[in-house]
Copies of this chain bind each other. A is one copy, B any other.
Amino acid sequence: MSGHIYIIGLGPGDQNLLTIEVATLLPNLTDLVGYGPYVQRVQVPDTIRKHSSDNREELDRARHALLLAQQGHRVGVVSSGDAGVFAMASAVFEAIDHGDPSFKETEVTVLPGISAMFAAASRLGAPLGHDFCAISLSDNLKPWEVILKRLRLAAQADFVIALYNAVSKARPWQLDTAFELLREELPLDIPVAFCQAISRENEHIEITNLKDAKASMGNMQTLVLIGSRYSQLLTTQQKTWFYTPRSIK
């Protein structure tokens, strides 16, 4: 008998940023699988078993979820933000693709969530109003040279750049190296925003420019948004906004 895996995007943190679809589904699961802090964040009845695991164990976690589903469970695999963005959705499909053939009998449903980049963008104003890209700065899963090449091409394409996994204790030098490269390609006055823990209690936003941006402004909870040469700051009575116009000349 095969159960069902639901790959769930929990959004950035605030319960109000769940979709109605996800909020309705969660209490009807039998098991929750995910990285510890995300599983603990979910408010569900005590009858639902929570299986927490460490970071960087995505494939093991996906296999565990598949085995639970094979026992007939209704398993929620949870990620922060949107599960399809540098998160568990790909891990589940990789585990099916390269795992036991019986995994291909599992029913899977993917439920989208508000990704970190769109949560951050909503606080800043409209930085993603024109063409943009998302790059994970972690070299755990791809070579560092590939990351640098992509950053340079993204700058040449004038994409607004959202950097995921931008700051890590294990690789504190990477973000500063990325800024150095971008300073070779882009005007020094374009806005750069450090967006920490959006919608959670320690939310903190710092806006600077490419000249002054430093890795020390962020931590492991920070998404970094780098404007294009068209991005603007706009100060109103309320606050300073960061937006990218829809049109370019």
Which A residues have a C-beta under 8 Å from some C-beta of B? Answer: 7, 9, 11, 14-21, 23-24, 58, 82-87, 89-94, 96-97, 104-108, 110-115, 118-119, 121-123, 125-136, 140-143, 146, 149-150, 153-154, 156-159, 232, 234-238, 241, 243-248
Are A112 and B112 in touch, CB under 8 angstroms?
no
With a CB–CB cut-off of 8 A, which chain B residues contact A132? 133-134
With a CB–CB cut-off of 8 A, which chain B residues contact A115? 118
Given known A-B contacts A115-B118, A121-B84, A238-B108, A136 and B126 have beta carbons under 8 A apart:
no
A112 shortest CB reach to chain B, Å:
4
Of chain B, the residue at the smallest CB distance from A232 is B97
Copies of this chain held together in the complex? 2
For the complex, give the distance between the alpha carbons of A247 and B142 in Å.
6
Are A96 and B236 in touch, CB under 8 angstroms?
yes
Cross-chain contact of A104 among B19, B236, B247 (Cβ < 8 A): B236
Q: List 29 A-B contacts (CB under 8 A).
A: A14-B21, A16-B21, A16-B24, A19-B20, A20-B23, A84-B118, A84-B127, A84-B129, A86-B129, A87-B129, A89-B121, A89-B122, A90-B126, A90-B130, A92-B126, A94-B245, A106-B238, A110-B121, A110-B123, A112-B118, A113-B118, A115-B118, A133-B157, A141-B248, A142-B248, A143-B248, A150-B159, A153-B156, A154-B157
With a CB–CB cut-off of 8 A, which chain B residues contact A246? 58, 86, 90-91, 94, 141
For the complex, give the distance between the alpha carbons of A243 and B83 in Å.
12
Most chain B beta-carbon contacts within 10 A, residue among A16, A112, A232? A112
Of chain B, the residue at the smallest CB distance from A134 is B132
Of chain B, the residue at the smallest CB distance from A143 is B248
Are B21 and A19 in touch, CB under 8 angstroms?
no
Of chain B, the residue at the smallest CB distance from A4 is B238
Most chain B beta-carbon contacts within 10 A, residue among A9, A84, A121, A134? A84
Cross-chain contact of A93 among B20, B106, B130, B241 (Cβ < 8 A): B241
